[in-house]
Amino acid sequence: MKHIFTDIVQNISMENVPSSGGFTPNADGSVAQNWASYTAAEHARWDQLFARQTRLLRDHAADEFLDGLSLLRLSDGGIPNVERLSETLMQRTGWQIITVPRLIPDALFFDHLAHRRFVAGRFIRTADQMDYLQEPDIFHDIFGHVPMLAHPIFADYMQAYGQAGLRASGLNALPYLARLYWYSIEFGLILQNDDVKLYGAGLVSSFGECGFALRDPSPHRIKFDLQRVMRTDYRIDDFQQCYFVIDSFDDLLTETRQQDFAPLYRDLAQQPSLSPATLLPSDAAITRGTQDYARQQAGRAARDDQLSPHSL
């Protein structure tokens, strides 16, 4: 199964994304949610997705994520009203949510995060896209990301990430920051009570990858190290070959806040990127993966290529 988005982390490409659907974006890329325009079928689709994911996550998501679901009352039914949700979130951590009709340029994306504004797509996937769609929709963005923004330390981390993105302008550092976003904010794991739990939005909102990330023997699960993360490539079209596990959100915030990123970017530019299948001798591996899933997928792709008319 593929992920429900292509490459959200850089927000650079404007090709093959949903049109504005009649909404005229503001200068910051945002549009009004127009909550009253959602149909009963769209609200029902949210409820179906919500029920399916919460059944999976009850024992497998980080405590802070589950607390955020409850605090923000995302179980009340139907697509959340972003204006009301922002009021609760603002009181809790000073964040608000803005809706956009499509991906926005990276400069706007970082600026919103740096000023504690979370960007969410306003559309919801169609009935035939319940397991896969190219762009992040309102379910991925609100269900996947926003509960963690109710946690003060993670909320500060998201702002610090946005500030790092603004400082990275002109340093050719976006690929490194994209990897950090991918392996923490989207596909991060955390060790809690001697068990590995999910907190990344791409995991908690994915029906297929929740169990794979936690229980499948194929992927590596490696203790988080900032430089190691920023050297590591990732998959945008399939389950991950490795995941990085933090000890706590305090550690995640401290490690990124105390890092002088400019010399780190220079060091990274002198080192080769690492395949996500790589396990270094210096890695603190919680689980040494078999990589069987990746090999099976590669074998299927090779057989498909052999059968393709273009190969004849």
**Domain CATH for 205:** 1.10.800.10
Can 112 be counted among the known catalytic residues?
no
209, part of any domain: yes
200, part of any domain: yes
Q: Could you give the 3-state DSSP secondary structure of residue 278?
A: coil
27, part of any domain: no
278, part of any domain: yes
* Helices and strands: H and E segment counts in the chain: 14, 7
306, part of any domain: no
Q: Which of 30, 86, 184, 205 is catalytic?
A: 205
Q: Which of 3, 145, 151, 220 is catalytic?
A: 145
pLDDT band at residue 135, thresholds of 50, 70 and 90? confident
**CA 165 distance to own-chain centroid:** 16
6, part of any domain: no
d(CA 179, CA 231): 8
Count up the domains in the chain and report the number.
Answer: 1
pLDDT band at residue 102, thresholds of 50, 70 and 90? confident
Enter the tokens of residue 110: 């970082």
Q: Which of 60, 186, 218, 220 is catalytic?
A: 186
d(CA 257, CA 254): 5
Can 42 be counted among the known catalytic residues?
no
Can 186 be counted among the known catalytic residues?
yes
Return the exposure string of 260-280: e unless at least 16 CB atoms fall within 10 Å of the residue's CB, then b. ebeeebeebeeeeebebbbee
90, part of any domain: yes
Enter the tokens of residue 203: 């995991």
**pLDDT of 12 strictly over 80:** no
* The pLDDT value given to residue 252: 97
Q: Could you give the 3-state DSSP secondary structure of residue 302?
A: helix
Can 15 be counted among the known catalytic residues?
no
Q: Give the list of residues 6+ apart from residue 285 with CB closer than 8 angstroms, or none.
A: 220, 221, 222, 223, 279
26, part of any domain: no
Handedness of CA 201, 205, 210, 212 (dihedral sign): negative
CA distances 118 to 184, 222, 288, Å, are 16, 28, 35
Q: Global pTM?
A: 0.90
Decide if 236 contacts 187 (C-beta within 8 A).
no
* The pLDDT value given to residue 270: 96
Q: Could you give the 3-state DSSP secondary structure of residue 23?
A: coil
Return the exposure string of 108-117: e unless at least 16 CB atoms fall within 10 Å of the residue's CB, then b. bbbbbbbebb
**pLDDT of 232 strictly over 90:** yes
**Helices assigned H by DSSP within 34-102:** 40-57, 63-71, 82-93
Q: Which of 60, 140, 151, 220 is catalytic?
A: 140
pLDDT band at residue 306, thresholds of 50, 70 and 90? low
Q: What is the mean pLDDT of residues 227-237?
A: 95
Of residues 49, 38, 37, 42, the one with CA closest to residue 75: 49
Q: What is the mean pLDDT of residues 16-39?
A: 77
Q: Is 47 exposed, middle or buried (0-12, 13-18, 19+ CB in 10 A)?
A: middle
pLDDT, the chain, mean: 89
Domain that holds residue 201: 35-295
